[in-house]
Structures are given as structure tokens and as C-alpha cells.
Structure 1
Amino acid sequence: MRKLFPLLLTGVLFFSCSSSDDSNNPDTSPTPEESMYFPDNNTDVWETTSPASLGWNESAVPALLQYLEEKHSKSFMILVNGKIVMENYFDGHSATTPWYWASAGKTLTSTVTGIAQQENYININNKVSDYLGTGWTSANLDKENLITCRHLLTMSSGLDDSLGDDVSPENLQYVADAGTRWAYHNVYVKLQDVVAQATNQTWSGYFNSKLRDPIGMTGVWIDSGDDLSVYWSTTRSMARFGLLALNNGKWKETQIINTTYFNEAVNTSQDINKGYGYLWWLNGKQSYHLPQTQFEFNGSIIPSGANDMYMALGKNDQKIYVIPSKKMVVIRMGNAADGENFALSGFDDNLWQKINAVIE
């Protein structure tokens, strides 16, 4: 849903990692009893393991990579138990090249909102106007005061989602009472303003100190207009966040985001769209809604994906798939696979068919 402007990244430093290949060592094969691996912060070493050591079907790997390349991918990565199993780059992209997360970055906002709550700066059950003041929308005051931070996290603000990306007050107009209507809307970005106001810090400053730096990510928030910003990072930085999510908000021995909040974030958050948590998409539910529609669809969002999978999905097919039952994180960055889309597309299910041919 975001408009991305041309960007000069010269002079901005992005940390990158190169793997330490132990793929010929059969002892690197993860087992249910093996402890989760985390790459060190500020290091260029990330342990690997081979598809063969996991018993995967290596003969299906070329078809997967060919499909990714044909579908305009820039990068692809699979982690199992924290170790890199596959890491591939396409179209001139590399481990050091940043790319945009688009709406996959909503999950960063969700996580930092939870951190601000655990530090007692905010309460997600409080109304947004407690932090931003009244008049942050065009709704009547009684309707505006119905909107809580939780409603922004769950896409149930009741504000009009048909008016485009602009989140200025005149463009945030009432359609329904908060909590009665689910609609994919960029008004969630107001949570960044809530956190900045409550902590008396800049959004990026608080984000960097509480989430980015503690798990060794790098990257920057880039203004894309209409009071919106988009996160840019390397693929491995995206993978670090996926690994944090796989471990319920814990990085090594440090609980970055408390498990209660994180579990709420990756489970159904309201009664309208069963496939949505706190800015995370949820697979394996009995029904779901898609962006730009009020229709309810029966079944799982990605039929070929695991039922316990939760997902950060962004415009033009930026993907983080987290699969706890397989101790797996899958990353895809790139251009749109099949024409512009807002978050979900048929590419997801087709990609998982190709991945399943490898891993099952």
C-alpha cells in the first residue's frame, strides 16, 4: 500500500554477514533436542547446515531456485534451528544490498509497540488520543475516542481504508465504530507516533535501541511520503528478526519482547479476520480477509503452508514466514512476482509448493 520513492543509500552503512560453511559436517543437522543457534551480534559469521544433513530432497532445489529467479526475486533464505540452510541472491542483489520490507515492516511496529508497553510507556488498551491528543482523525470526538492502540494493531480502527496512504487527520475518516470492521489500513503507523510521544524519543531512536541493535540487525527507516516510513535492510537482518519471532521474542538469553504480548501478536486478535494478529498474518485459520476487500474467505490463507505458520507480508512479495513446528524461518525479498500486490498473492502458495518439494 505504500509508495516507494527513489532512494540514494550512498553513505548509509548496512552490516552484512558471510556464512561459515560447515555443510559437510553431519553433526550440524538440527535435532529436536539441539539448542537454537543465534548468530552473534557484530559478527560476519553465521553457522550453516546442508539440505542433505536434514534429509531434504536436493534434486528439487534447482526447480525452487529457478522459480524464484523467474518470479523476480532478489534474495531467498531458509533457516532451520537458527542455522542457514539456503541463502541465494538474484538479479545483481547480494548479502550487502539493502531492500525494502514494505508492509512486512508492520511486524516491527507491532513488536516495538509491545516493548513500549512492557516498559510501561503505553497501554495498548488505552485510546490513541491519550497519546496523540484529540483531532488526530476527522471523526467526531466520541467516535475517535473509541479507537485504542489495540485497534490499530488489529486493523479494526473503523476508519475509511479507501482514501489512500495519507494518514493526515483529514484523510482519516469514520466509517464504522472501532472494533466492528476489519480493514487493511496504513493508520497503524500512528502507533509509531504513539511510541515516540510516550517515550519522548524519536521512533527510529527507540526502535534502534530496543529492537534493532539488541539482535544485531542493521537498517534504516526511510520516509516514503504521506507521514509513512519504510524499513530497508539486508536479507540477513530480516532473517534475524524472523529468528527472534521463531523464539517467541527471545534472543539468546534475553527476552526482548515478553512472551504474553508476542503470543497475542501471532494469534487471532479479533473476531472478524481470523487470519490476523497484531500486524502479523496467520495461516491455518478457518477463515480470513484480504486487503482491499470486506469479503470473508474460508480456509487457510496459504493452503500449502504449515497451519502454525505466521507471516510478515509486504507489498511486491516481501516475505517472512515463521514455522514453529519446523523450527524454520523463510525469507524472500524482491520485486512483485506477478504484478503489483499489496501483501498476499497466489505466489505464496505456489512458492510453498516448491519449498515443500525440497523439505518434505
Structure 2
Amino acid sequence: MKRLIYLSLILSLYIFGCQSSDDAPNTEPESNFPVTQDLYFPPSNSEEWESIPPTSLGYNDSQIQPLLDFLEEKNTKSFIMLHHGKIVLEAYMNGHQAGTPWYWASAGKTLSTTVAGIAQDQGFLNIETPVSNYLGTGWTSAPLEKENLITNKHLLTMTSGLDDSLGDDVSSENLQYLADAGNRWAYHNVYVKIQDVVAAATNQNWDTYFENQLKNKIGMTGSWIDLDNLNVYFSNTRSMARFGLMIYANGKWEDEQIVSESYLQQATNTSQNINLAYGYLWWLNGKTSFHLPQSQIEFPGELIPNAPADMYAGLGKNDQKIYVVPSEQLVIIRMGESADGSNFALSNFDNDLWEKINAVIQ
């Protein structure tokens, strides 16, 4: 049954992907939409958060309730839309309460990317250097000469070349050689080793460094919890929105640069030539082709055709979403259960949701 669902997803994505532009891909880093001086940041030590009426932005008020009804029908627990930092829509449904933690799933990979960038900015590590420089040799079961090819950047871009068919366990015996690093894109939980790299490089516990350099500075709540052999972040919805806002602001929070703009430009643009729709653990829209988890097939067209071409996203199991859309000055968060019964990070729900969002904002 799971195989049938997956094949159906592949086929449907192929069909709507083929409808997209055939323009040549731009794999060079693109500048984010300029952030003007009036960008709003909520206080870091308070739950206060300014809002703005959707009608003041020219949004279609008559389409807001259909959007919320669709979200509720699709097992959503919470939804937030920010425009230039201020709340335009915020809703909790299906028994979920504001302030209640929920898991980010793989959308939280973007936290690991960001913290790695902070550590590089501070001179603790270099993403271009081998992982073994920080973890020592033998962190995989690959031959030493192959293991030493794997850099931190390969972890961030899903191009380690390690076997992705051996499950979620990232102990060394399960990290077996399949291809030389950089030659194969495969969605693999080995990315979590970047947390160990940061801890080793900074000589600090991962949680402590994360809290001091990111979480506390932007007023996030939440914690890392071991779930199915992975370090998964849980927080309330507004904390996810705070993180999305900091990314939208090109790495700044108020007057402090949390992570360098140059690093984020690399992280949110095509990072390798195999999967054009992937940065440093960020999914990228607007490219001419894409790959999906657990597949080596290249699909033509955009990742989410209904979404703006400049959108990039943190996508997690059961439809956890962080959408950042510079051209529309939007950050959009969705937390909840699986919308359509698929547990993949990307599903048809993304495209359907953007159809509803577009009816509101356009």
C-alpha cells in the first residue's frame, strides 16, 4: 500500500511538474527581496506580536474562511501567515491550542543548517572541510579514503554518497559507502551529524550552543527531543514563525546579525548540480527540475507550481511547513498531522494549499 501511495505521489508530481517553465535553471546565488527598514520583529522576551488586517494589504477577505476550512479539513493544528513580520492570519484548530508544542520533523533540518552557518561565521568550522576533521575517522563504515571525501557541505546538501536505504539509524555501521561524495543526491538522515560537528568544533553541547546563539536571541521556545533515533525539535507555532522571520530578514533579528547574509544566500540557492531544488537542507521552488526523497528520478518542472518561484521552504514529515517568500514579504507556517495520509516531507498538499493561499493574496 505504501508503495502505491508513493508511486501515485511521484506520478502526480510529474504531471503538474511538467506544466512549469522550461527556462534554464539559475544555479547562482540570488539576492533575497530587499528588506526595508520597517520590518517588524516581535519582542524577544514577550508573547506580544503586532498584527495587520488582511484587507489593509489588499487581500481577498472572502477567501480567508475557505483557506481556514481547507486547513482544518486537512488535519492542520496551527497556521500563521506573517507579512513583513506582522501577523496577518493566525489560527489553531483540531483541538490544538496556541502555545502547545508540536514537532518540526524535517522542517527542523533548517535549524541545523543555520547553526552550522553561525559556527562558521564565528570561525569554529568550515563547511568545505571533511567531517572527519571534527569527528575523527571511523564515523562511517566507508573505506577511509572514501570517508575523507565527505565534507560538512556534503551533509548539508544530501550528497554524502552514503547508503540511504539502511533506515534512520546513523550509527557508523549503518553509514555505508555507496558513491563518492558529491556524485549522488539522496535524502538521508546522516545530515544530523552536522550537529555533532558543531558540538565538537565549538567544544560545547549542541543544545547549549543552539540556545545561546539562536534560540534565546530570537525569543524561541522549545527543545530537542530524541525521536526515532533522531534529534527532533519541538516548539509552539510562533517559535517556528520567529525562526522563519529571522531567515526572511536575511539572518538578522532587529539590529543583530544572527547568521551571515552571505551564508544564507548559499543555503537558500541551488547547492549542487544533481537536485536543483535543494540548498543546504532547504527546498527551493522555481527550478526547472527536482528530486524527491527515496528516489533517484529527476522530475521536470517546479517543486510547487502554485507557489511563487522565489519561495524556499523547510518541509517535514506529515506536512510541517516553513514557507519563506521574499517577493510577497511572507513567512507562512503550518503544523499538524498529515494532510492526505502521506508521511513524506513533500506532498500534493503543498500545491493545493498554495492554490488557497493565492486566492487570498492575489
Kindly state the Cα deviation for residue 33 of structure 1 after the two structures are TM-superposed.
6.0
Residues 143-189 of structure 1, C-alpha deviations (whole Å, 9 max, x = no match): 00000000000000000111110000010011100000000000000
Report the equivalent of 2:236: 234
* One-letter amino acid of the structure 2 residue matched with residue 216 of structure 1: G
Report the equivalent of 1:204: 207
Structure 2 residue 250 is matched with structure 1 residue 243: no
Report the equivalent of 2:74: 71
Alignment of 1:128-207 (within 5 A): 128-207=131-210
* Of 101, 104, 118, the match for 1:101: 104
Residues 254-306 of structure 1, C-alpha deviations (whole Å, 9 max, x = no match): 11001111100000000000000000000001111010100001111000000
* Of 45, 50, 58, the match for 1:47: 50
Structure 2 residue 339 is matched with structure 1 residue 337: yes
Deviates more, 1:56-65 or 1:263-272: 56-65
Number of positions where the alignment pairs a residue of Structure 1 with one of Structure 2: 328
Deviates more, 1:176-185 or 1:60-69: 60-69
Alignment of 1:319-330 (within 5 A): 319-330=321-332
Report the equivalent of 1:263: 265
Segments of structure 2 that go 5 or more residues without pairing to the other structure are: 1-34
Residues 308-337 of structure 1, C-alpha deviations (whole Å, 9 max, x = no match): 000000000000000000110000000000
* One-letter amino acid of the structure 2 residue matched with residue 208 of structure 1: E
* Of 282, 285, 301, the match for 2:284: 282
SS of equivalent to 1:78:
strand
Report the equivalent of 2:303: 301
- Percent same amino acid at aligned positions? 65
Kindly state the Cα deviation for residue 342 of structure 1 after the two structures are TM-superposed.
2.2
* One-letter amino acid of the structure 2 residue matched with residue 278 of structure 1: Y
The CA RMSD over aligned residues, in Å, is: 0.9
SS of equivalent to 2:62:
helix
TM-score of the two chains, using structure 2 as the length reference: 0.89
Report the equivalent of 2:113: 110
SS of equivalent to 1:87:
strand
Kindly state the Cα deviation for residue 94 of structure 1 after the two structures are TM-superposed.
1.5
SS of equivalent to 2:113:
helix
SS of equivalent to 1:308:
coil
* One-letter amino acid of the structure 2 residue matched with residue 340 of structure 1: S
Within 2, Cα distance between the matches of 1:89 and 1:259?
Answer: 33
Within 2, Cα distance between the matches of 1:225 and 1:84?
Answer: 34
Q: Kindly indicate whether structure 1 or structure 2 has the higher relative contact order, using CA contacts under 8 Å at least 6 residues apart.
A: 2
Report the equivalent of 1:359: 361
* One-letter amino acid of the structure 1 residue matched with residue 95 of structure 2: G
